[in-house]
Amino acid sequence: MGRGKLLSTQGGGKPSKGFRVSRSEYKAIAERMKTIQEQQMKIVRNMRRIRYKIAVISTKGGVGKSFVTASLAAALAAEGRRVGVFDADISGPSVHKMLGLNTGMGMPSQLDGTVKPVEVPPGIKVASIGLLLPMDEVPLIWRGAIKTSAIRELLAYVDWGELDYLLIDLPPGTGDEVLTITQIIPNITGFLVVTIPSEIAKSVVKKAVSFAKRIEAPVIGIVENMSYFRCSDGSIHYIFGRGAAEEIASQYGIELLGKIPIDPAIREANDRGKIFFLENPKSEASKEFLKIARRIIEIVEKLGPKPPAWGPQME
Ligand SMILES: Nc1ncnc2c1ncn2[C@@H]1O[C@H](COP(=O)(O)OP(=O)(O)OP(=O)(O)O)[C@@H](O)[C@H]1O
Ligand SMILES: [Mg+2]
C-alpha cells in the first residue's frame, strides 16, 4: 500500500475504513508540522533572552487579571527591571489598553521578518493581538487550535530583545487553551494567581495550584484584588467578604503577596486607556503594587532562572 493512500491502521495493521489521507493532504500536514517546529524553535531562542517568565492566572474571569498584569509591569519597571507584557488572551485582549496603547496601532515590522513589541514610556514592551486588530468591536471567534497557532506565531516573531521579566496575561480559566499556551512557552518561572476575596477564591487557588503542578512551575504567590473599599471618611468595607485569601494562603503554603482595594479611579483610568500606576503613584493600590513587585523580585531573583531556562541549544 502506497504512503499517502491510507495513513491510519487499526489493531493488527488492518487498514481502517474511514480515515484516508491523500498524498497532497499528507504533504500539507507534514509542512504544517515543519512550520510549527520552526516556530517553536524560534520561541525557544527568543525566550532564552528573557530571565523570568511569570504567567498571570485566575480561574475566573473579570477578577482584574489584566489590570494586575499591567500594574505589576509598571511597578517592576519602576524598580529598574526590563519588562515585557504578552497578552495571551486572544479572544479578549485588553492589557494593551490598560498600558495606554490603542487597538489597531500595529507592531513595527523589521527587515529580518520579526516584529517589535510596542514600547510604553516607563520602558515596558507590549505584544498583543489587540494591537493588530483593526478595532475593539471586531470579535475574534476563532476556535481553540487557531487561537493556539496565533499565539505560537506571535511568540515566534516578536523580537523582545533582552528582558528581565515577561508577564503573560493568560485567558481566564485553567482549561485546554491555557494549558496549551503555557506549554508553548518554555520554562515558565512561576504563576501569579489573581483572585478576589470570596468563597470562589478557595477553588480558584486550588485549581491554579494543581494546574501549576502540571506545568512543573511553582506558584509565586497570590494577589487579592478588589479586597476592600475605603470610604472618603476612612471606613473600610469588605464588599466581597474577608479573610479567604489568608486562609487559602496558609492552607496551601502560598504567600499572599498583597491586597489591592476597589478604587473607582482604577476602572476610570483603565477605561480612559491610562496607566493607573503611573497616574496615581500615591494611591493605596499603587503603593501595594510596588510592595508586591519588590517581593516578587526578592522571591524570583533569589530562586534564579530555572536551570533549563535557557532551553536546548538550537543555533
Ligand atoms: N481593584 C479594582 N478596583 C476597581 N476596578 C477594578 C479593579 N480591578 C479591576 N477593575 C476593573 O474591573 C474590570 C475587569 O478587570 P480586568 O479586565 O483586569 O479583569 P480580567 O480578570 O483580566 O478579566 P477577563 O477575565 O475578561 O480577562 C475592568 O473594568 C477593570 O478596570
Ligand atoms: Mg483580562
| pLDDT tens-digit map of 35-58 | 888 989 999 999 999 999 999 998
- The pLDDT > 70 percentage for the chain reads 87
In a mutational test of the pocket of ligand 1, which residue from 67, 69, 90, 167 has the highest number of ligand atoms less than 8 Å from its CB?
A: 67
Q: CA of 30: how far to CAs of 4, 10, 22, 36, in Å?
A: 11, 22, 12, 10
- The stretch 185-198 carries a mean pLDDT of 90
- Judged against a pLDDT cut of 60, whether residue 308 lies above it is answered with no
Report the pLDDT value the prediction gives residue 2, as an integer from 0 to 100.
Answer: 43
Report how far residue 226's alpha carbon sits from residue 114's, in angstroms, rounded to the nearest whole number: 39
Report the pLDDT value the prediction gives residue 125, as an integer from 0 to 100.
Answer: 98
pLDDT digits (tens, 9 = 90+) for 216-225: 888 999 999 9
β-pairing verdict for 190-195 and 14-15: unpaired
Atom nearest to 89 CA in ligand 1: 27
DSSP symbol at 310:
G
pLDDT digits (tens, 9 = 90+) for 72-87: 999 999 999 999 999 9
Report the pLDDT value the prediction gives residue 84, as an integer from 0 to 100.
Answer: 98
| Helices marked H in the chain | 23-47, 65-78, 95-98, 144-157, 176-184, 200-215, 244-252, 264-272, 276-279, 284-303
22-306 folds as: Rossmann fold (3.40.50)
CB-based burial, 19-37: b 16+ in 10 Å, e otherwise? eebeeeeeeeeeeeeeebe
In a mutational test of the pocket of ligand 1, which residue from 225, 267, 288 has the highest number of ligand atoms less than 8 Å from its CB?
A: 267
Report the pLDDT value the prediction gives residue 208, as an integer from 0 to 100.
Answer: 85
**Res. 9 pLDDT band, cuts 50 70 90:** very low
Q: Pick the residue with more confidence: 136 or 188?
A: 188
- The stretch 151-161 carries a mean pLDDT of 92
Mean pLDDT of the chain: 85
**Boundaries of every domain in the chain:** 22-306
| Ligand 1 pocket member 56 (CB < 6 A) | no
- The stretch 250-271 carries a mean pLDDT of 93
Report the pLDDT value the prediction gives residue 140, as an integer from 0 to 100.
Answer: 63
CA-closest candidate to residue 216, choices 88, 87, 83, 309: 309
**Res. 91 pLDDT band, cuts 50 70 90:** confident
Report the pLDDT value the prediction gives residue 298, as an integer from 0 to 100.
Answer: 94
Of 125-139, 187-201, 221-235, the poorest mean pLDDT is in 125-139
Report how far residue 152's alpha carbon sits from residue 181's, in angstroms, rounded to the nearest whole number: 8
